[in-house]
Amino acid sequence: MHAVRHCTLTLESGLVLLAVAIAAYVSGLRGISRGALIAMAVLAAGYVILRVPGLHMVGNTVGERQTGFGTEMLSTADLRARFGGTPWLLYAYTIVSSMLTVPLSQPIAGQWTAFAPWDPQAPPLFFLNDIGTSLVATAIVVWYMSRRRAPDGRRRWRDPAPLTLLAVLAGSGVLSYAYAKSEIMSAAGVFYALVVYMAVRELADVLVRLKPDPTNSVESIPANSVGSAFRRTIVVVLALLVSSAWGFRAMGLQYRLQRGAFEARSEWILRMPPYANPPVPARESRLVPRLLDEALHRGRTNPFLLWPPYARLWGEN
């Protein structure tokens, strides 16, 4: 409750915590009592009432933030011109595209960058690796969630982690209705990683099973047979390949974070005198000089001094 209260007072994404609590309770977990769950729901309802009728804050509308649509990144003026009369079309696209970001790694901020018009500077390996590893992981997750578990025969998607993933994915997508933002989908990404682990673990268990599973009609192979050894080898090789590809993605994330931090630090120079007018008059500014000093004295590696092919391998940001 404490987390919901503080998160919702600053960012709407704090409401995702309520979706996590409700999904976990419905799936059978009782870490949060019914009374605490009701209190969280009351706090969330109070937040909505305070925000909309009380403070008249109805959220972002079309054209307040730039966002992607198809293979383009549209400016605020473009959004108002194209969707000013049909905002529901943009909202529906943004919700769906935000939800697809987690299982497919595309689109990015609503823009299908992997299918944009060909750019000679585009990093093909970056897109191929990101999309390929996501497709493999998501396919395993779909297989896992469609299976029946013993002994009650319920589908796996009704288990706590998969059900919470679906709830958070849908809730986060709805919160992104006006413009796509990857940060809002980060909570769903955590549960996605958890479900991927559970799915891969069960897949490996099925492929090397020594006894048949009556709920799934999986044929068994004797433990000392050539077929069983071959299956184990295939499992190990596939796990090694996919995990190595995901490790390569993690390295790229570190590079892009460093590049983004350097660019954000450089923005302090370009947004301040003598290159631009200060955001507030100097006599009224107290926080800006402090933030500027902290940004400039915090060391950041210049990505342009690193090996140039890094940008081709992992993208620029």
Q: Give DSSP secondary structure letters for the chain.
A: -HHHHHHHTT-GGGGHHHHHHHHHHHTT--SS-HHHHHHHHHHHHHHHHIIIIIT------TTSS-EEETTEEE-HHHHHHHHSS-HHHHHHHHHHHHHHHHHH---BTTB-GGGSSP-TT--HHHHHHHHHHHHHHHHHHHHHHHSBPTTT--BGGGSHHHHHHHHHHHHHHHHTSSS--GGGGHHHHHHHHHHHHHHHHHHHHHHT-SS-BTTTTBPP--TTSHHHHHHHHHHHHHHHHHHHHHHHHHHHHHHHHHHHHHHHHHHHHHTSTTTS--SS-GGG-SHHHHHHHHHHHS----GGGS-THHHHHH---
| Confidence check: pLDDT of 222 > 60 | no
Q: How confident is the model at residue 99 (pLDDT cuts 50, 70, 90)?
A: very high
CB 256 within 8 A of CB 311: no
Q: CA-CA distance, 235 to 240, in Å (whole number)? A: 8
| Confidence check: pLDDT of 7 > 50 | no
In this structure, of 36-40, 251-255, 284-288, the range with the lowest mean pLDDT score is: 284-288
Same domain, yes or no, for 118 and 100?
Answer: yes
Same domain, yes or no, for 209 and 139?
Answer: yes
| Confidence check: pLDDT of 213 > 70 | no
pTM, entire model: 0.75
The residue segments making up the domain with residue 269 are: 247-314
Whether residue 162 is contained in a domain is answered as yes
Whether residue 305 is contained in a domain is answered as yes
Same domain, yes or no, for 66 and 214?
Answer: yes
Whether residue 74 is contained in a domain is answered as yes
Same domain, yes or no, for 209 and 73?
Answer: yes
In this structure, of 73-77, 187-191, 205-209, 259-263, the range with the lowest mean pLDDT score is: 205-209
Same domain, yes or no, for 30 and 129?
Answer: no
| Confidence check: pLDDT of 255 > 60 | yes
Whether residue 238 is contained in a domain is answered as no
Total of domains in the chain: 3
Same domain, yes or no, for 209 and 107?
Answer: yes
Same domain, yes or no, for 199 and 278?
Answer: no
Same domain, yes or no, for 33 and 150?
Answer: no
Same domain, yes or no, for 158 and 68?
Answer: yes
Same domain, yes or no, for 131 and 195?
Answer: yes
Average pLDDT, integer, range 120-126: 61
Average pLDDT, integer, range 291-312: 74
| Confidence check: pLDDT of 1 > 50 | no
Whether residue 235 is contained in a domain is answered as no
Whether residue 178 is contained in a domain is answered as yes
Same domain, yes or no, for 53 and 82?
Answer: no
Q: How confident is the model at residue 197 (pLDDT cuts 50, 70, 90)?
A: very high
Same domain, yes or no, for 43 and 81?
Answer: no
Whether residue 153 is contained in a domain is answered as yes
Whether residue 236 is contained in a domain is answered as no
